[in-house]
Chain A
Amino acid sequence: MPEFRTEEMVLNMGPQHPSTHGVMRFVVHTDGEVMRVAKPDVGYLHRSIEKIAEKLKYPQFMPFTDRIDYLAAMNCNMGYAMTVEKLAGIEVPPRAEYIRVIASELNRIASHLISVGVMGLELGAVTPFLHAIRERETINDLMEELCGARLTYNYIRIGGVAQDLPAGFAEKTIEFLDHFVPAVDEYNRLLSYNKIFVKRMADVAVISAENAVDYGLVGPNLRASGVKWDLRRDEPYSVYPQFEFDIPVGTGEKGQVGDCYDRYMLRIREMVESSRIIKQCLAAVPDGPVQTKLPASLKVPEGEAYVRTESVRGELGYYVISDGSDKPYRLRIRTGSFSAMSIVELTSRGLMIADLVALIGSLDVVAPEIDR
């Protein structure tokens, strides 16, 4: 028998690859179709946002927070605004708080729609993606009415929001939600309960609760592993304590707790919960101003503050150190996608190449949020 020499194949996925959501790179060591390991290589979308913050006045930095996570710009706005308000001791009018929650939760639905749509796209089903995008389009229209922008909103400002709700906004939002919640069932019938889809997702890339905590997973990825941790409930901020909503966790309904299917289904459930929050919020919006009067040049007293909020991709933390001037001395952002990327190397061992795509899709990693 002649001896055959075998060697592992190194496959370079990205930075330009159809399923890397922007620019990410994975160095995949494979033995045929089975991966030995996939090593993520981050940093292709680094834009020095944290450094830029040191050169800009506090309110001027707001548009840059849009670019941290362009799919959830509203949530990123809100985290930054809350940090500066905490540091400077600024009161936010109650009406503005409600509007912030409405806008962020709408944004959460929009972002999750992209996530679940792309999940289908990754597995070769193109049609569900367009159905998801169609629903998101209505949210984009609502956002455009609200603040004039469809993606990078720059709407939530330090001390309130940029404008009041436009006329008829509440009715249009309710109309959308009444259409949207049944549409989720339709979407589930099209994709979520599809036999091939379930086979591709269930029991694939299982992340145990222990590993999820160890690797610092946050948000939906953490909850899908069975850890019931949501800052909106456990560390309530803004007006969230007034609303009634459930925190969905992964139950392993088609496979094990913490598999790709759990992460996917969790986002579907969160969209429905967000709809509940928005409805309650719209019913409770008080009258009043939407913006606190701020000095022309906002000087923040010396000190430091860390505020974390539940963004779409989980815990989004801003850490601001102020030296008393009108610019932050140092600003640091902690994002969910970065820690999600770190667990890829552990989870990818022994998966097939096709599963890596499902794993990345189910972690809902957004490239600019990894690098900032």
Chain B
Amino acid sequence: MRYFADWIIENLEFTRAIPSEYVYLIIMVVGGLLLLLFVVPMAGALTFVERRVAGKMQSRIGPNRVGPQGIFQFVADGVKLILKEDIIPTAADRRLFKLAPYIVFVGSFLTFAALPFSQKLIAADLNIGILYIFAVSSMVVVGIIMSGWASNNNLSLLGGMRSAAQIISYEVPQILSVLAVILLTGTLGMQGTIKAQGWAPQHWFLFHNPFAFIAFFVFFISAVAECNRIPFDIPEAESELVSGYNTEYSGFRFGLFFLAEFANVYVISAVAVTLFLGGWNTPFYLPTGIWGLLPSAVNLAGLITFLIKTFVLVFVCMWLRWTLPRLRVDQLMTVGWKYMVPIAFFNLVGTAVWMLVWGDKSIAALLGG
């Protein structure tokens, strides 16, 4: 976006008349809308894909009535949710109850601002992109506790408290494992991290050194836990808490929780691809200058590479969800604090030692001489 705005200000005559701040503002608003146009259908489509994947795994078909192969099922579901009556329990704290779903959705949507899609496609290439993503995605838990509390329902309250405990415990190993990557790159920027990797798997941080390899799994497991998905879906835990924190929600507000969940799955997969799996790197190089801004073949190849890698990880999330049972709340804490946190610390120290001994050379570089 930034490149694009700069280019407009520099090259288009009519923008000279208005102050550049306004041009930036307009570009940013347009960019935000474009992102929303990407996130909402993408999250919706993921619900459809998840149901079909689940159907395949459970030897049944899944939704196949609305449109060819049922691909418009999510549109029908969305329309249904919007048309439904918005029920607010009389005993609920009305203001908090109404506010909570927006906080959850905004928290997960804001992360998209710093998510890269390809070489040039990124809303804001912040120099603290990674920090920003983890900061805003922590907002989700505020919304979840808020909804659990405001519903004035014991089951929702339990769900909210579980969610808080879970997200706090799993954020620690998640960020510790990310720190290992930051040590390797020396940057907090998303694009910078991707540029530090190559297109071939041996240049990915996943295979950079043994510690980074473990860090990837620590990161991914913690990230799945942050998304509240099976095997870590105790805040929702259908068979125990009905639907956990969102038990009392209906209609559009419930839809927002739902969208946020699937948007989050995309976010964690995209972040994992960025940090560990080489991001959008392709064997081709971007032309410089003005042509680099336009939708070029290389940019497109980068976008496709990135999306394929991300959706493979999204599929892994679905695969886990439809195969594994759920952990109990105390077992979840045990896994988090007794295994993930020490392993993440060990990784961090290990990476530091690796860098002390071999610099930022990867295993491939060492073996290759």
Residue from A9, A10, A123, A196 within 8 A of B239 (CB atoms): A123
Chain A hits for B158, CB < 8 A? 11, 33, 353
Main secondary structure of the interface of A (DSSP, over half): helix
Is B323 a contact of A19 with CB atoms below 8 Å? Answer: no
Q: B234 and A354: CB pair below 8 A?
A: yes
A185 and B231 alpha carbons, distance in the complex (Å): 23
Among B233, B234, B325, residue most surrounded by chain A Cβ atoms (within 10 Å): B325
Which listed residue, B155, B242, B324, touches A125 by the CB 8 Å rule?
A: B324
| Cβ-defined contact, B154 with A352, below 8 A | no
- Known contacts A124-B231, A124-B237, A131-B58; is A197 also within 8 Å of B325 by CB? yes
Q: Which residue of B lies closest to A16 (CB)?
A: B242
Most chain B CB neighbours (cut-off 10 Å) among A122, A126, A197? A126
Question: Which residues of chain A from 1 to 57 have any CB-CB distance to chain B below 8 Å in the complex?
Answer: 9-12, 17-19, 32-33
Instruction: State in angstroms the CA–CA spacing of A315 and B68 once bound together.
Output: 52
- Shortest beta-carbon distance from B61 to chain A in Å: 12
With known contacts A33-B329, A123-B325, A124-B325, A130–B60 Cβ distance under 8 A: yes
Partner of B326, one of A10, A18, A196: A196
Using a CB-CB cutoff of 8 Å, which residues 221-251 of chain B contact chain A? 230-231, 233-234, 237-242
By beta carbon, the residue of chain A nearest B58 is A130
Q: Does B57 contact A (CB under 8 A)?
A: yes
From residue 84 to 103 of chain B, which have CB atoms closer than 8 A to chain A? none
Asked if residues A196 and B240 are in contact (CB atoms below 8 Å), the reply is no
How far is it, in angstroms, between the C-alpha of A131 and the C-alpha of B59 when the chains are bound?
8
Instruction: Kindly list chain A residues whose C-beta atoms are within 8 Å of the C-beta of B231.
Output: 124, 196
- Say whether, besides A196-B324, A352-B328, A134 and B239 are in contact (CB < 8 Å): no
Known: A17-B242, A197-B325, A200-B328. A126 touches B154 (CB 8 A): no
> For the complex, what is the distance from the CA of A320 to the CA of B231, rounded to whole Å?
50
Q: In the bound complex, do residue A127 and residue B329 qualify as a contact, i.e. CB atoms below 8 Å apart?
A: no
Can you name the residue of chain B whose Cβ is closest to the Cβ of A196?
B325
A354 touches B59 (CB 8 A): no
A150 in the interface, Cβ–Cβ < 8 Å?
Answer: no
Across the two chains, which residue of chain B brings its CB closest to A198? Answer: B325
Contact A354–B329 (Cβ < 8 Å): yes
Query: Does B330 lie within 8 Å of A130, measured CB to CB?
Result: no
Cα separation A355 to B240 with both chains bound (whole Å)? 9
Interface centre among B155, B237, B239 (most CB of A within 10 A): B239
Q: Which residue of A lies closest to B57 (CB)?
A: A127
Residue of B nearest to A19 (CB): B239
Say whether B288 faces chain A, with CB atoms less than 8 Å apart: no
Residues of B within 8 A of A124 (CB): 230-231, 233, 237-239, 324-326
Known A121-B239, A196-B231; contact A127-B327, beta-carbon cutoff 8 A = no
In the complex, are the beta carbons of B237 and A199 less than 8 A apart? Answer: no
A219 at the interface (CB under 8 A from B): no
A60 near B: Cβ within 8 Å?
no
The reply to whether the CB of A120 lies closer than 8 angstroms to some CB of chain B is: yes
Residue of B nearest to A124 (CB): B326
Please state if B331 and A126 are interface contacts (CB–CB under 8 Å): no
Report whether B239 and A352 are in contact in the complex, using a CB–CB cutoff of 8 Å. Answer: no
Please give the distance in Å from B113's CB to the nearest CB on chain A: 33
Q: Which residues of A contact B329 (CB under 8 A)?
A: 33, 352, 354
Chain B, residues 153-168, CB within 8 Å of chain A (1/0): the string is: 0110010011000000
| Chain A positions within 8 Å of B323 at CB level | 125, 127, 190
**Across the interface, which residues of B come within 8 angstroms of A354, CB to CB?**
234, 237, 240, 326, 328-329
Chain B residue nearest in CB terms to A354 = B328
Asked if B254 is at the interface (CB within 8 A of a chain A CB), the reply is no
Interface string of B302-327 (1 = CB under 8 A from A): 00000000000000000000111111
In Å, the complex CA distance between A122 and B328 comes to 12
Q: Which of B122-177 contact A (CB under 8 A)?
A: 154-155, 158, 161-162
Complex formed: what's the CA distance from A199 to B322 in Å? Answer: 18
Instruction: Say whether B54 faces chain A, with CB atoms less than 8 Å apart.
Output: yes
Pick 23 A–B contacts, CB within 8 A, sort by A.
A11-B158, A12-B154, A17-B242, A18-B238, A19-B240, A121-B239, A123-B325, A124-B230, A125-B323, A125-B326, A126-B58, A127-B57, A130-B59, A190-B323, A194-B325, A196-B324, A196-B325, A199-B327, A199-B328, A200-B325, A353-B241, A354-B240, A357-B240
Q: Which residues of A contact B (CB under 8 A)?
A: 9-12, 17-19, 32-33, 120-127, 130-131, 134, 190-191, 194, 196-197, 199-200, 352-357
A-B pairs with lowest CB-CB distance, top 3: A124-B326, A130-B58, A123-B325
Beyond the given A125-B325, A196-B231, please list 17 additional residue pairs across the A-B interface where CB-CB is below 8 A. A11-B155, A12-B154, A33-B329, A123-B325, A125-B230, A125-B323, A131-B59, A196-B327, A197-B325, A200-B325, A200-B327, A352-B329, A353-B158, A354-B234, A354-B237, A356-B240, A357-B240
